[in-house]
Structure 1
Amino acid sequence: MATVFKLAKAQKEGNGPSSREAHKEKNSEEQKAKKNKQRVLVLSSRGINFRQRHLLNDLAALSPHFKKGMDAKLDQKSQFSILNELAELNNCNNCLFFEVRRKEDLYLWASKTPNGPSIKFHVQNIHTMDELKMTGNCLKGSRPIVSFDKTFDTQPHFSLIKQVFTHIFSVPRGARRSKPFIDHLISFTIADNRIWFRNYQIVEKDPTEVEKNQKDITLVEIGPRFVLNVIRIFEGSFNGATIFANPEFITPTQIRRNIKAEKAARYQSRVQSKEVLRHKLSASVLPFDPMERS
């Protein structure tokens, strides 16, 4: 604004640029102010249970630039390309889609609509705010500090995930319903080749209570918490060529199948051991002794 006033004053004095140039300067400043406008559409598929729905609501409450989708959940039979149209209708350039399969397996899609990329995760170890009952608390609508582990810069696919999560979870300045405060921290940490999500409150102590060897800022966990296991990274938004595929990922269906196979093998071994014992007992019967008294 100061630049605009200087240009107007120079025009009155006769030694400044024309009104057209001043208008261009004003438009460039407005474009810079609107450069980091990120809006995120959050919705789920049919079959979501209460814990998964609470996790979705917790994430939507954490960030004021999140926008919940339509009340009617997306049918699994429909194509995911419709999500790009929904994001465009809601004026969003990011999308978080919770896909539920078999009413127990939760998958998370994080996408930059409409051109991509998009990342598919398997969500594990879900704990919502109501379950944790942590002592931490933060102002609703406040802007968070998004922190990433240094391991994100070691591999290309983790660097791409870092950029996508920065756009999704970083609340832009001046976002709708946002407060001019920063009082909580969202942490992403990589351990066991998985991404661990944590949310902490930033607590500042009273300077009179701070001792010489202590820091005046502490972190208190708020929740929710969950773990993301990367499955695939696609070039487009919910479609396109596969950029990265996790070779260590095993589907939950395969894990359950392996558990059932182990149980069946243990049962089969027990049945075989009983059959072997029965044959041994039948073979160990002594023949009839005629000298034995009746």
Structure 2
Amino acid sequence: MAAVYKSISKQKSSAPNGKEETDNKPKNKQRVLILTSRGVTYRHRHLLGDLNALLPHSRKDAKLDTKTQLHQLNELADLYNCNNVMFFEARKGKDLYIWLSKPPNGPTVKMHCQNIHTMEELNFTGNCLKGSRPILSFDAAFDKQAHTKVIKELLTHTFGVPASSRKVKPFVDHVMGFTMADGKIWIRCYQIAETEASKNGKAENEENTQEPSIVAPKSGKGETNVSLVEIGPRFVLTPIVILEGSFGGPVIYENKEFVSPNQIRSDLRKSKAGRYNKRADGIMERKAKKSDLGLRTGATHEVDELDDRVLFA
């Protein structure tokens, strides 16, 4: 009881005018549920593991057996006390779709994931502390359209680690960049590398990076070079549809320019079949022409009465 009284008295003494501080600032309480469907490949599993390691406020769950009744994810999120869901849906063992949702009221965005490169296969030199908070860097193109603003808000809630999370560490040592180009969202992750500059103006341990270094003054120790070193993973997201509810509800945005990978594969098969059909038709036409001219072995050619061989026999 004495310890409780002492802590309360410290709070009162630190407050201005002896009054208790009132927290008018809203607390950022975000928790993400990450899970996959059946049929994911090893690359999809490694990407999920990388994202789970980068997000200390996430909770990884077992695979979901169904791909049609996605409303069950709302019950799972409520069960695990999560207000964000990141669902990896695999189709035909090739295609990966990522759902980002805010249960129980929504909205929900479905995106097609391409160009996946995990941390293990990239082997970048950068590294960050596990459990640290990232700086989210968004492209200015996210604020130009209504649907990109919704996507930016969902990405912020999903990848933005709150300071009050249980597993978070009080460090900010990496940056997550979200760039909008060609109607796709390009996601990269960089480590913030800080090195002390020498007397000659060069860093003692210079990192091999393509990013421009930023010189920032440091009190008492001269200047320091701050650079960004990529650590992975890399992947590209193409927005497909935005739903008003959580894994359901009316469609509020649809990407008309998106072509499903199934349609692309079907068009490729049809183009190959068309080339074969043209080749087969050409072969049949040549055979018919040769048979008409009597050039084929065993083919009988009818001799006309006005033929030169009959008239001048």
TM-score scaled by structure 1?
0.85
CA contact (8 A) 2:213 2:227 kept: no
The equivalent of 2:148 in structure 1 is: 158
Task: Tell me, in whole angstroms, the C-alpha distance in 2 between the residues paired with 1:8 and 1:167.
Answer: 33
Task: Tell me, in whole angstroms, the C-alpha distance in 1 between the residues paired with 2:109 and 2:147.
Answer: 10
1:69-148 → structure 2 map (5 Å cutoff):
69=61, 71=62, 73-76=63-66, 79-148=69-138
Show structure 2 runs of 5+ residues with no match: 1-7, 204-211, 215-224, 296-300
Task: Tell me, in whole angstroms, the C-alpha distance in 2 between the residues paired with 1:262 and 1:8.
Answer: 76
The equivalent of 2:31 in structure 1 is: 39
Question: Which is worse superposed, 248-257 or 143-152?
Answer: 248-257
1:132-211 → structure 2 map (5 Å cutoff):
132-208=122-198, 210-211=201-202
Report deviation, 1:281: 3.0
Report deviation, 1:280: 3.0
Task: Tell me, in whole angstroms, the C-alpha distance in 2 between the residues paired with 1:214 and 1:8.
Answer: 42
Report deviation, 1:49: 1.2
Task: Tell me, in whole angstroms, the C-alpha distance in 1 between the residues paired with 2:240 and 2:291.
Answer: 56
Report deviation, 1:77: 5.1
Task: Tell me, in whole angstroms, the C-alpha distance in 1 between the residues paired with 2:185 and 2:213.
Answer: 30
Show structure 1 runs of 5+ residues with no match: 11-21
Where 2:256 maps in the other structure, the secondary structure is coil
Report deviation, 1:93: 0.8
Report deviation, 1:3: 6.3
- Report sequence identity in percent: 51
2:52 pairs with 60, 66, 69, which one?
60
**Corresponding residue pairs, total:** 273
Report deviation, 1:88: 1.2
Task: Tell me, in whole angstroms, the C-alpha distance in 2 between the residues paired with 1:95 and 1:7.
Answer: 38
Report deviation, 1:258: 0.9
Aligned-pair RMSD on alpha carbons?
Answer: 2.6
Where 1:180 maps in the other structure, the secondary structure is coil
Report deviation, 1:59: 0.5
Tell me which protein shows more helix as a share of its residues.
1
Where 2:30 maps in the other structure, the secondary structure is coil
Report deviation, 1:182: 1.1
Say if 1:78 and 1:230 are closer, same or farther in 2 by CA, change over 3 A. Answer: closer
Task: Tell me, in whole angstroms, the C-alpha distance in 2 between the residues paired with 1:187 and 1:169.
Answer: 11
Say if 1:254 and 1:8 are closer, same or farther in 2 by CA, change over 3 A. Answer: closer
Report deviation, 1:110: 0.3
The equivalent of 2:259 in structure 1 is: 250
2:233 maps to 1:224 = yes
CA contact (8 A) 2:67 2:89 kept: no
CA contact (8 A) 2:37 2:65 kept: yes
The equivalent of 1:17 in structure 2 is: none
Where 2:196 maps in the other structure, the secondary structure is coil
Task: Tell me, in whole angstroms, the C-alpha distance in 2 between the residues paired with 1:168 and 1:3.
Answer: 33
Say if 1:7 and 1:234 are closer, same or farther in 2 by CA, change over 3 A. Answer: same
Report deviation, 1:177: 1.2
CA contact (8 A) 2:28 2:164 kept: no
Task: Tell me, in whole angstroms, the C-alpha distance in 1 between the residues paired with 2:276 and 2:240.
Answer: 34
Say if 1:173 and 1:7 are closer, same or farther in 2 by CA, change over 3 A. Answer: closer
Deviation digits for residues 39-59 of structure 1 (CA, Å, limit 9, x no counterpart) = 101001111111111111110
Where 1:259 maps in the other structure, the secondary structure is helix
Where 2:170 maps in the other structure, the secondary structure is strand
Deviation digits for residues 36-87 of structure 1 (CA, Å, limit 9, x no counterpart) = 0111010011111111111111100011111111x3x111256211111111
TM-score scaled by structure 2?
0.80
Task: Tell me, in whole angstroms, the C-alpha distance in 2 between the residues paired with 1:238 and 1:201.
Answer: 34
CA contact (8 A) 2:87 2:99 kept: yes
Report deviation, 1:278: 2.1
Task: Tell me, in whole angstroms, the C-alpha distance in 2 between the residues paired with 1:128 and 1:44.
Answer: 16
Report deviation, 1:174: 2.8
